[in-house]
Amino acid sequence: MLFRLLAIFLFFVVVFGFRFTKNILIDLPDVTKIKDMVFNEATVIQDRNGEVLYRLFEENREYVQYS
């Protein structure tokens, strides 16, 4: 009797685990497309010497390369 209850419990845990994992993984973005992503960056206005005069932005982001 105890073995049967344990087997049923493990069955439901495994089935729930697979369904839960599948539902989470289905919403994740494709990691192979990460190199092609384009982010909103600030527009930088510089003078002739390269000094930053203004930064125009809706979202103040800077691009940082990853290895």
Residues 7-54 pLDDT 10s:
999 999 999 988 888 888 887 877 787 777 777 788 889 999 999 999
Closest CA to 61 of 36, 35, 41: 41
Contact, 42 vs 54, CB < 8 A?
no
The rounded distance, in Å, linking the Cα atoms of 56 and 41 is 9
Residue 42 burial by Cβ neighbours in a 10 Å radius (0-12, 13-18, 19+): middle
Contact, 1 vs 9, CB < 8 A?
no
Record the pTM: 0.40
